Amino acid sequence: MTSVAVAVTDGMLHFELGLACEVFGSAPDAVRVPWYDVSVCGTGPVRVGRFTLTPDRGLDHLARARTVIVPALADVDEDPPADLVRAVRAAHAHGARVVSLCTGAFVLAAAGILDGLRATTHWAHTDDLAARYPKVTVDPDVLYIDNGSVLTSAGKAAAMDLCLHLVRLDHGPAVANVVARRLVVPPHRAGGQAQYVTTPVPAGDGHPLASLLPWVMRRLDRPLTVEDLAARANMSSRHLARHFHAVTGTTPLRWLLTQRIRRAQELLETTDDNIDTIANAAGMGTATTLRRHFQRTVGVPPDTYRRTFRASP
């Protein structure tokens, strides 16, 4: 049985904490392998969102666990608690696999265990992480990063992806698929897949992109160009690019390609359509074009993505 220690402190977010406990805390009925022994570790009762939580063990237990998970911090502007940082550093020194979910990466960075490594966190905080910890190579464009003994994830759903990745490493894809089915989530999204920070729709009807982005999403099966988007928004292509970068952090063309890939993923997951049909529906034109962009963005070919998603336990 593999020991998992979930570190907690005041001000953590309950979503990432809850999903870690859900994934590792109890084995699905169909799983017949030794499951994880999970402990929640802290210095005393802590406030987690709206809830008060009493830990099972102290932070010193982190150094005795095989895997240490650090959930997300609500306030990354404050330095993480020194006792938590010391405990995580000690766990890593004792050979634990240390995992951060979302902004838990700030704890790992403060402990110095991300120095010289690639790491990620929620896209809204990647610039801050990079600025505060310049020895860390921050990648804002991935779901999670596996450095072997140190792993980091982006926010929310990406934290679930990383937890399932750990189950897949420990018990194989069939068991990970069983866990994913119980939780009603996709069993595998590659860590190198984009965070899709390019999807938010600007708030407020007055923003130049507020009506444009939904308009595009309804027409992904059509051969849209940047010029088409600019004409729809009644602005020049250069002006459009400035608005896109301000809102999405990327270019109109990259945003459009990402939405087409997302549409293809949805169709691969939910339909039996062949690759040519999906390529047309996603606006890629041909299966060859879809396969090229899909492989580069997601990290696996569309056929492999579909087989992984539908793999039987």
pTM to 2 decimal places: 0.65
State the DSSP H helix or E strand holding residue 109, giving kind and residue range, or none if neither.
helix 105-110
At residue 197, the pLDDT reads 40
DSSP string, 138-163: E-TT-SEEE-SSEEEE-STHHHHHHH
Angle ∠(10,132,149) on CA atoms, nearest 5: 70
101 neighbors 162 (Cβ within 8 angstroms): yes
For 276, list phi and psi in degrees, rounded to 5.
-65, -45
CA distance 72 to 122: 9
At residue 91, the pLDDT reads 97
At residue 274, the pLDDT reads 95
At residue 157, the pLDDT reads 86
At residue 184, the pLDDT reads 73
At residue 98, the pLDDT reads 98
At residue 304, the pLDDT reads 85
Find how far residue 52's CA is from the centre of its chain.
26
Residues of the chain with pLDDT under 70: 1, 186-207, 248-249, 308-313
